Structure 1
Amino acid sequence: MDLEIVFSDVDGTLLNSEHKMLDGTKYAIQKLHEKDIPFVIISARSPSGIYPILEENGFSCPIICYSGALILDENKNTVYSSGFNREIAEKVISFIEKENFDCCWNLYSGDNWIVKDKSDERVITEENIVKTEAARGSVESLSIDAKIGKILCICNPEKTDEIEDKIKKSFPDLSVVKSFHTMIEIMAPGITKGSAVLELCRLWNIDVKRAAAFGDNFNDVEMLEVVGFPFLMENAPDELKQRFKTITDSNNDEGIYKALVKIGAI
């Protein structure tokens, strides 16, 4: 088959439930590299939340961060960057705090991760998962011309849908999406993983219909919709399984490796 590029989400997709990469996945990435087929990590994470994965597993590749707001090539050069300004970030965070949502907000700009309370257990858990540390601060900690990649809300799972709905209604121009049962990502207008896939394929003159993508959650939907070879992980929510026909095995059962073998890519 004429596969030209492969995109993969991280949590629940590239990594198993213990946040490790399986041997078959590593083998698949190596084989893609040998065929000069780019493998691109695409995640809601920041750069510093992705690079430890590459270091731990001994390879480099382009990365797409903040669900599409920032694209870096394999040499860590910025290929594309988008975001919203500090004024909008202030309005969003003020709204979150005024509504007294059962969540903690996380602000990302460049590779800065700012939180209000570093002792919050939800922040500590996230730090342990992504293997990087947040800094205590506020929107005012950033320069006036800073570009915000995203605001992340880590929520009480019983309140996530309600919080997402209220943020969407109050900020209809922003891109707001649930990425996990406890997480809501807030980005600039039009920013999705799908928009980033289209942008990178355009820049590299790649036919998006010859792209494969792997994902497991709601913030992967746009990406899976635009590529020619979309694969939803078995561990995805049932709602998404009703929308996509090509379902591969779970992130704990070599879903990426098996799908690439099945379509003859490796």
Structure 2
Amino acid sequence: MIKLIASDVDGTLLKEESQNLNPNIYDIIRQLKEMDIHFIAASGRQYYNLRNIFSPVQDDISYIAENGSLCISDGKVISRGLIDRELGLRIFRAIKEYGNCHCLLSCESTCYVESTSTAFIDHVKNGLCYNTCVVDDLSQIQEPFLKIAVCDYNGTDDIWTYCRDLFSDEIKVVTSGYTWIDFIAPNANKGSALAELARHFNVKPEECMTFGDQYNDAEMLQFAGISYAMNTGAPGISNFATYTTDSVEKVLYGLLDKLIHGNQ
């Protein structure tokens, strides 16, 4: 019996850079809740932003935000992963040396950007709808670092290779969508956060179902007894899942149909 369902957002529930969920997902989440199945939004996005995206059901679900660096349920932090400050400062310097990209620092209170690009700042503030503070120098931020993200509008292949070669021995570097890469604390990922939530709810891995499309979803897909990789996802991501699909909603409607008719 499935008791927890965790889904990635961008590229999985949100398609083609859309910022609006299919309204049907809210009804699905409500129906799942009636059957004692808890839904988890699992994303590289910030907690504040995820609550806005899932506004109609925001208090009915749990959150794995910042690619697992912040896990929250019922308004309480279940787990938190932090990036060593000195390592973070070295990442900032390397990104500046690479050039032609934009760096975003996620902290628990807000996210910070130092880009001078009005288009990028508008994208973060009004496209992604992030709670955002523009600063002159990210290295001056004194809050603990949850996650560092880099946006390259030319795609992630080159910037990911550059950052992986420099930092993969110290920190996890993953693609997150088509233009972002994320640096995630060594002890944090969506899978470890889901494991914490499963323990919190006293749920076994085989009672979990997950959905994802990028390599930042790999651990979460591997953790769950049933997992789905999006067939539009990153090459090879299906190797971490038990199934593939083109629609989360279609899979969940099928699950609900089985439950309603007593076949599971």
Give the shorter-chain TM-score range: 0.7 to 0.9
State the partner residue of 1:128: 126
State the partner residue of 1:165: 161
State the partner residue of 1:114: 112
Determine if the alignment matches structure 1 residue 209 to structure 2 residue 206: yes
Give the distance between the partners of 1:265 and 1:232, measured in 2 at CA: 25
Give the distance between the partners of 1:263 and 1:161, measured in 2 at CA: 41
> How far apart are 1:165 and its partner, in Å?
1.8
Question: 1:53 is matched by which residue type in structure 2?
Answer: I
- The answer to which structure, 1 or 2, has the higher relative contact order (CA under 8 A, 6+ apart) is 1
Identity of aligned residues (%): 25
Equivalent positions of 1:1-266 (< 5 A) are: 2-17=1-16, 18-56=18-56, 60-74=60-74, 76-100=75-99, 102-117=100-115, 119-137=117-135, 138-143=137-142, 146-158=143-155, 160-171=156-167, 172-241=169-238, 244-250=241-247, 254-261=249-256, 264=259
Structure 1, unaligned stretches of length 5 or more?
Answer: none
User: Which secondary structure does the structure 2 equivalent of 1:180 belong to?
Assistant: coil
Give the distance between the partners of 1:95 and 1:265, measured in 2 at CA: 54
Q: Could you tell me the TM-score, scaled by structure 1's length? A: 0.87
Structure 1 contact 174–186 (Cα < 8 Å) conserved: yes
Structure 2 contact 221–228 (Cα < 8 Å) conserved: yes
Structure 1 contact 41–61 (Cα < 8 Å) conserved: yes
User: Which secondary structure does the structure 1 equivalent of 2:217 belong to?
Assistant: helix
Offset from partner CA, 1:214-247 (integer Å, 9 cap, x none):
1122211111111001012233234334654511
Question: 2:207 is matched by which residue type in structure 1?
Answer: R
What do you get for the CA RMSD once the two structures are aligned?
A: 2.3
Give the distance between the partners of 2:260 and 2:180, measured in 1 at CA: 33
Structure 1 contact 176–185 (Cα < 8 Å) conserved: yes
Give the distance between the partners of 2:260 and 2:147, measured in 1 at CA: 34
> How far apart are 1:63 and its partner, in Å?
0.6
Work out the number of aligned pairs and report it. 258
Pair 1:259–1:142, CA change in 2 (3 A): farther
Structure 2, unaligned stretches of length 5 or more?
Answer: none
Structure 2 contact 226–242 (Cα < 8 Å) conserved: no
Pair 1:259–1:246, CA change in 2 (3 A): farther
Q: Could you tell me the TM-score, scaled by structure 2's length? A: 0.87
Give the distance between the partners of 1:163 and 1:58, measured in 2 at CA: 34
Give the distance between the partners of 2:233 and 2:260, measured in 1 at CA: 23
> How far apart are 1:256 and its partner, in Å?
4.7
User: Which secondary structure does the structure 2 equivalent of 1:114 belong to?
Assistant: strand
Give the distance between the partners of 1:98 and 1:238, measured in 2 at CA: 29
Question: 1:14 is matched by which residue type in structure 2?
Answer: L
User: Which secondary structure does the structure 1 equivalent of 2:188 belong to?
Assistant: coil
Give the distance between the partners of 2:14 and 2:59, measured in 1 at CA: 15
Structure 1 contact 49–132 (Cα < 8 Å) conserved: yes
Structure 2 contact 88–145 (Cα < 8 Å) conserved: yes
